[in-house]
């Protein structure tokens, strides 16, 4: 019988802090690049550059002997994820960083709804209340009727829905395939899914844009790796609340670097959404059946 690894909460919190900083750097780099490159092309270049990190996984993928059904699921997930990445890149250069970060927390809420509809997960009263609170948090951020809801906001809302679909497919695959293969195949199929969008509206990137996208690839890969270290060191109930700091850093970054105002309603709405996600995650951890993806997971 395998020995359970000891929990190291301080180590888990440290790695989750590093994860948040990595993902904030992804956000800052994409924001600083501006809207010159079409979102599909920018996302394609980021993932194409990130393919170099998959080289160690090639052997494991070839040895997995995937079935036709699994190949189909991987392709469906990759194309769903590609759509969410395009929407995320589109929103990132059009609305404040704090709003993108806060609305990013909505994906786990949608996953909870989707798991009930498509995977037969039971929605107890407390989980329904948490979902309603998460949607209320989104309403606080957007405040329709009291402020302009731009195309960037709509893109981010849709991105969270499509990303949730990607994760639901991953949930099915997680019972059949090793995690490393799931991550590797996602990168392959996202790159393939983005290619037609990139070449349909291609603008030759300059050296600065290529350097920024290379940095995005590095920080995104590092963030996913350090997030894995955090979950290996401590329970998700310890690391999940730390993700709130990502909203704090995003708000500060937008104010100091991009001259974006601090909107208290965005911070409040983000806190409500994250509180909802934390409660759902805690409940699922207690029941030992994680369904909800981790809030800091970024589309970039």
**198, part of any domain:** yes
Q: What is the tens place of the pLDDT at every residue in 230-284? A: 877 877 667 767 777 888 888 888 988 888 888 899 989 988 988 888 887 776 6
The residue whose two tokens read 């909203």 is 247
**138, part of any domain:** yes
State the helix-helix crossing angle for 68-92 and 39-50, rounded to 10 degrees: 130
Answer for the pair 101, 246: CB distance below 8 angstroms, yes or no.
Answer: yes
Answer for the pair 292, 108: CB distance below 8 angstroms, yes or no.
Answer: yes
Which two structure tokens, joined as six digits, stand for 110?
A: 């949608």
- What one-character-per-residue DSSP string does 247-285 give? HHHHHHHHHHTS-PPP-HHHHHHHHHHHHHHHHHHHHHH
Distance (Å, whole) CA 205 – CA 218: 18
Q: What is the tens place of the pLDDT at every residue in 15-57? A: 989 988 998 999 899 999 989 999 999 999 999 998 888 887 7
Which two structure tokens, joined as six digits, stand for 109?
A: 């809420």
What is the total count of domains within the chain? Answer: 1
Q: Quick one: pLDDT at residue 171?
A: 80
Q: Quick one: pLDDT at residue 1?
A: 41
**260, part of any domain:** yes
Q: Quick one: pLDDT at residue 295?
A: 53
Distance (Å, whole) CA 158 – CA 114: 14
Q: What is the tens place of the pLDDT at every residue in 121-161? A: 777 788 888 888 888 988 998 887 677 888 999 999 999 89
Distance (Å, whole) CA 160 – CA 268: 19
Distance (Å, whole) CA 63 – CA 75: 18
Domain that holds residue 86: 9-286
Distance (Å, whole) CA 41 – CA 32: 16
Looking at mean pLDDT, say which of 60-64, 188-192, 227-231, 248-252 comes out highest: 188-192
Answer for the pair 194, 300: CB distance below 8 angstroms, yes or no.
Answer: no
Question: H/E element holding 31?
Answer: helix 9-33
- Of 17, 68, 2, 75, the residue nearest 233 (C-alpha): 17
**1, part of any domain:** no
**188, part of any domain:** yes
The percent of residues above 90 in pLDDT, for the chain, comes to 31
Q: Quick one: pLDDT at residue 2?
A: 43
Question: H/E element holding 172?
Answer: helix 151-174
**179, part of any domain:** yes
**299, part of any domain:** no
| 3-class state of residue 147 by DSSP | strand
Q: How confident is the model at residue 177 (pLDDT cuts 50, 70, 90)?
A: confident
Q: Quick one: pLDDT at residue 289?
A: 52
Answer for the pair 162, 84: CB distance below 8 angstroms, yes or no.
Answer: yes
Q: How confident is the model at residue 299 (pLDDT cuts 50, 70, 90)?
A: low
Looking at mean pLDDT, say which of 188-192, 261-265, 285-289 comes out highest: 188-192
Q: What is the tens place of the pLDDT at every residue in 112-131? A: 888 888 877 777 788 888 88
Q: Tell whether the model's pLDDT for residue 58 goes beyond 70.
A: yes
**24, part of any domain:** yes
Q: Tell whether the model's pLDDT for residue 287 goes beyond 70.
A: no
Q: How confident is the model at residue 108 (pLDDT cuts 50, 70, 90)?
A: confident
């Amino acid at each position: 019988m395998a020995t359970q690894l000891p929990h190291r909460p301080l180590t888990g919190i440290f790695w989750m802090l590093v994860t948040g900083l990595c993902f904030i750097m992804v956000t800052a780099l994409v924001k600083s690049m501006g809207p010159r490159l079409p979102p599909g092309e920018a996302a394609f270049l980021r993932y194409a550059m990130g393919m170099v990190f998959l080289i160690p996984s090639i052997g494991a993928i070839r040895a997995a002997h995937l079935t036709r059904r699994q190949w189909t699921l991987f392709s469906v997930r990759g194309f769903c994820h590609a759509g969410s990445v395009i929407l995320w890149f589109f929103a990132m250069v059009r609305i404040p960083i704090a709003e993108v970060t806060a609305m990013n927390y909505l994906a786990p809420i949608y996953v909870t709804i989707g798991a009930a509809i498509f995977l037969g997960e039971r929605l107890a009263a407390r989980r329904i209340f948490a979902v309603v609170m998460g949607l209320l948090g989104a309403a606080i951020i957007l405040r329709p009727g009291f402020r302009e809801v731009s195309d960037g906001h709509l893109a981010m809302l849709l991105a969270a829905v499509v990303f949730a679909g990607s994760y639901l497919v991953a949930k099915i695959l997680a019972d059949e395939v090793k995690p490393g293969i799931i991550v590797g195949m996602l990168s392959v199929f996202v790159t393939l899914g983005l290619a037609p969008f990139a070449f349909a509206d291609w603008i030759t990137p300059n050296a600065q844009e290529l350097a920024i996208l290379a940095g995005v690839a590095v920080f995104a890969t590092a963030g996913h790796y350090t997030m894995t270290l955090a979950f290996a060191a401590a329970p998700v109930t310890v690391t999940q609340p730390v993700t709130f700091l990502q909203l704090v850093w995003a708000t500060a970054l937008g104010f100091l670097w991009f001259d974006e105002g601090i909107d208290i309603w965005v911070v409040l709405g983000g806190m409500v959404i994250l509180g909802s996600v934390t409660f759902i995650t805690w409940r699922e951890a207690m029941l030992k059946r994680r369904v909800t993806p981790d809030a800091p997971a970024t589309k970039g």
